[in-house]
Amino acid sequence: MSAALEDCVAVVDDEFLIATGLTMQLEGLGMTVCGTAATADEAVALVQAARPAIVLMDVRLGGDKDGIDAALEIHDTVGSKVIFVTGSREAATIERIRLDHPAGLLFKPVLDWQLREAISAALAS
Amino acid sequence: MSIRDWLLNPSGLTPHGFCLSWSPSLISLHVASDVIVGLSYFSIPLAIAHFVRRRPDLKYGWVAYLFVAFILACGTTHFMAIVTLWVPAYGVEGLIKLVTAILSVATAVLLWPLIPKLVALPSAAQLGVRNQDLEQRVAERVAELEDLNAQLVAALQEKTEAQQAQAHSDAHFRASFASAAVGQVHYDPVSGRIIRANHAYAAMLGYEPEDLVGRLGSDFSYPDDKEPTAYARMVDGDVEGSAREKRYLRRDGEPVWGRASASLVRTPGSGEPLLAVAFVEDIDEGFKAQIALRQAKQDLEVVDSLLMMQARRLRDPEAKAGLETLRGRVYALGLVHHQLMGSKDLETFDIAPFLEELSRHLLEGGGAADVTLSVRAAPLRVGLDFAIPLGLLVTELVTNSMKHAFDGGAGAIEVALEEAEPGQMELRVADNGRGYDPVLTGGAAPSLGATIIAGLVSQLKGVLSISMNGGTCSMVRLPAPVQP
């Protein structure tokens, strides 16, 4: 959190086509995507290397850690704002996300304007 | 002169009576006095000797025997004085006096140095005080002991009560552990072996509880779902406990889904793991349904993503718009799955928030910034077979209004689903736009949208009526879904 973060977005989703779709949406909104990751460990490595200001984080990821685990580690090591993007509406999952103090929460599929608003709100917080 | 003469009759001496002129009164006075003194002097040492013998604990008892000897000797001199009244045995008398003198000197000499020692001996009064002191101390000590005893008895009582309470709570624990509907397992945190498991847990895996004791907990994890890191993080203290859905391995080799929440009991103080406790809820049936729903929803998300990417690549505005309309339809399908995933029974959900969310998404996705929306729907639990056609129908009608009613200007759309009469619902989608025929939006031939609307209304066994009075209002009368 000491050093300034880059003006870009990292996309984390284990579904390649969804990660690609989100990347296109972000680029369509004029933002730079610094990379995509499919697992929690990849996500942490990507964020630590690229230091993006914003991370779009899927909750369910391949591997034994999920997006919430990755978000905690990112919060502790880099300090990027993490916006969760979930397809799930299960109360337990949503509660876990809320406890993690996310910078935002979006449900799939995400509209352009929802993405834009969530990112500007996260940057302003 | 012989010794005998010297002892009994030194030559020429007269008996002592002669000196008293044999006066009967004087003689009898001397004799009587000497007898009394002599007898007394014999009696006193006997009494002393007797006393000393009876009290062997007396210190310096030998002094008393010295006194005994000395007084006996004195007594003897008095008897000798009587004898010498008639017999001039002055030799014997002198010798007896010599013995008496030696004993007297010895007694006198030995007595002086003895006095400080005798003084140092405690007196009876002192002994009395000391005795009293002792008695008091004994009394105090006894009181203390009684007090301690009372405390001990109380402590024992307390301990017994605590043990009883413990036994009670152990019994409660065992009963609630054994009969709980939710599976419970206790593991040794070091070896990972099962210490005890309840019936619910064993039954979930197809075993009896006693079959599981001593087995490794990981033996019952489905091979793909073993998660050593989660447990290690808990032991390291990174996380308080872990909660997740995972597959367990049943006796017949089949996987069964459980929701496990695990925690560690630690030794107070050292914090060493003492016991690993897990609650495992059998969620197999619901979870498989949930996974199927999640998979279906995720597939629709991928389809949406593909459509979105494809639409971005297209140059032809009509084709682009066609794909966006298709995205709206896919969204309606996805939203139904989304609602089901959030519902308890995974089969029904409330239609009201669904309609609200669906309409709002269509409006916001359509980019009509100046169009307002109001949704009015009575709470109604619906299943998949009702929600999908109804959702698609609302999607078509709202999309039509946005496309055709306002020409990019301002306006309002109203969606309502209410009970018209018992068993009959009425869906109404109305706008205050320029008025258009939803069936003939594409020109002379019915559009795809119109075909879909007609098909869905018929699937719902409904009747569509359209009025164009200051806008377009589509009304569908349809039978209410059968309540589960």
Please give the DSSP secondary-structure letter assigned to residue B215: S
Q: Could you tell me the pLDDT band of residue A27, with boundaries at 50, 70 and 90?
A: very high
Residue B312 has pLDDT above 60, yes or no: yes
- pLDDT score, position B439: 64
Contact at 8 Å (CB) between B41 and B71?
yes
* CB pairs A-B closer than 8 Å: 59
Q: What is the pLDDT of residue B206?
A: 92
Evaluate whether residue A125 is within a structural domain: no
Chain B partners of A97 at a C-beta cutoff of 8 Å? Answer: none
**What dihedral angle (degrees, nearest 10) is formed by the CA atoms of B221, B225, B230, B234?**
-20
Which tens digit of pLDDT belongs to each residue from A96-112?
Answer: 787 777 888 998 888 88
User: Would the CB atoms of B298 and A109 count as touching at under 8 Å?
Assistant: no
Q: Examine the pLDDT at B391 and tell me if it is beyond 80.
A: yes
Per-residue model confidence as pLDDT tens digits over B207-219: 999 999 999 888 8
CATH topology of domain B287-479: Heat Shock Protein 90 (3.30.565)
pLDDT digits (tens, 9 = 90+) for B407-464: 878 899 999 999 999 999 999 999 998 887 766 555 556 678 888 999 999 999 999 9
CB contact under 8 A, A64 and B230: yes
Q: Which contacts (CB < 8 Å, 24+ apart) does range B5-12 have?
A: B6/B91, B7/B89, B7/B91, B7/B92, B7/B95, B8/B87, B8/B88, B8/B89, B8/B91, B8/B92, B9/B87, B9/B88, B9/B89, B10/B88, B10/B90, B10/B91
- B338/A89 Cβ within 8 A: yes
Residue range B131-147, pLDDT digits in tens = 888 889 999 999 999 99
Q: Taking CB atoms and an 8 Å cutoff, what residues of chain B touch A20? A: 305, 309
How many Cβ atoms from other residues are within 10 Å of residue B290's Cβ? 18
pLDDT at B355: 94
Contact call for A87 and B338, based on CB within 8 A: yes
User: Looking at the predicted structure, is the pLDDT value of residue A93 above 80?
Assistant: no
Contacts of B334 in chain A (CB under 8 A): 108-109
Question: Measuring CA to CA, which residue among B342, B188, B346, B324 is closest to residue B264?
Answer: B188
Contact A107 B305 (CB under 8 A): no
User: Residue B445: what pLDDT?
Assistant: 61
Split at pLDDT 50, 70, 90, the class of B292 is confident
Residue A124 covered by a domain? no
Neighbour-count burial for B258-276, b at 16+ CB within 10 Å, e otherwise: bbbebbbeeeeeeeebeeb
| Contact indicator for A71, A57 with CB cutoff of 8 Å | yes
User: Burial, B426: exposed, middle or buried (Cβ in 10 Å; 0-12, 13-18, 19+)?
Assistant: middle
Whether residue B4 has pLDDT greater than 90: no
Within-domain flag for A119: no
Asked whether residue A121 is assigned to any structural domain, the reply reads: no
pLDDT at B393 over 90: yes
| φ, ψ dihedrals at B239, nearest 5° | -130, 150
Q: Where are the alpha helices (DSSP H) in A51-111?
A: 67-77, 91-99
Residue A37 has pLDDT above 90, yes or no: yes
Q: What gap in Å lies between CA A104 and CA B363, rounded to an integer? A: 22
Q: Which positions 36-65 of A are in contact with B (Cβ < 8 Å)?
A: 64-65
Residue in this structure with the two tokens 């009368």, named with its chain if needed? B477
pLDDT at residue B362, as a whole number: 86
Q: Considering chain A, what is the average pLDDT of its residues?
A: 89
pLDDT of residue A2 exceeding 50: no
Q: Tell me the average pLDDT of chain B.
A: 87
Instruction: Give backbone dihedrals phi and psi of A88, rounded to 5 degrees, phi first.
Output: -90, 145
Whether residue B288 lies within 8 A of chain A, CB to CB, comes out as no
Place of tokens 């946005």: B402
| Residue pair B381/B419 in contact by the 8 Å Cβ criterion | no
Integer-rounded Cα radius of gyration of chain B:
63
The minimal CB distance from A109 to the residues B227, B290, B304 is found for B304
d(CA B74, CA B82): 13
How does residue B474 score in pLDDT terms, banded at 50, 70 and 90?
A: very high
On the question of pLDDT at B11 being above 70, the answer is no
Task: Identify the closest residue of chain B to A114 by CA–CA distance.
Answer: B364
Domain residue extents for chain B = 3-120, 180-282, 287-479
Q: Kindly report the pTM of this predicted structure.
A: 0.59
**A1: in domain:** no
**Closest approach of chain B CAs to the CA of A123, in angstroms?**
23
Q: Report the CATH number at residue A104.
A: 3.40.50.2300
Chain B environment of A24 (Cβ under 8 Å)? 308-309, 312
Q: How confident is the model at residue B360 (pLDDT cuts 50, 70, 90)?
A: confident
- In the stretch 323-362 of chain B, residues with CB closer than 8 A to chain A read 327, 331, 334, 338-339, 341-342, 361
Residues of chain A with C-beta less than 8 angstroms from the C-beta of B361: 111
Q: Residue A123 falls within a domain, yes or no? A: no
Q: Whose CA is closest to B77, among B63, B56, B94?
A: B94
Overall domain count for chain A = 1
Q: CB distance A88–B230 less than 8 Å?
A: no
- CATH class entry, domain B180-282: alpha beta
**Between chains, do A109 and B308 touch, taking CB under 8 Å as contact?**
yes
Q: Is residue A118 part of a domain?
A: no
* Domain that includes residue A16, residue range: 6-111
Query: Is pLDDT at B468 greater than 90 in this prediction?
Result: no
**B375, B377, B351, B357: which is closest to B483 by C-alpha?**
B351
The pLDDT of A4-9, averaged and rounded, is 90
Question: What residue has token string 């591997």?
Answer: A63
Distance CA A17, CA A13 (A): 9
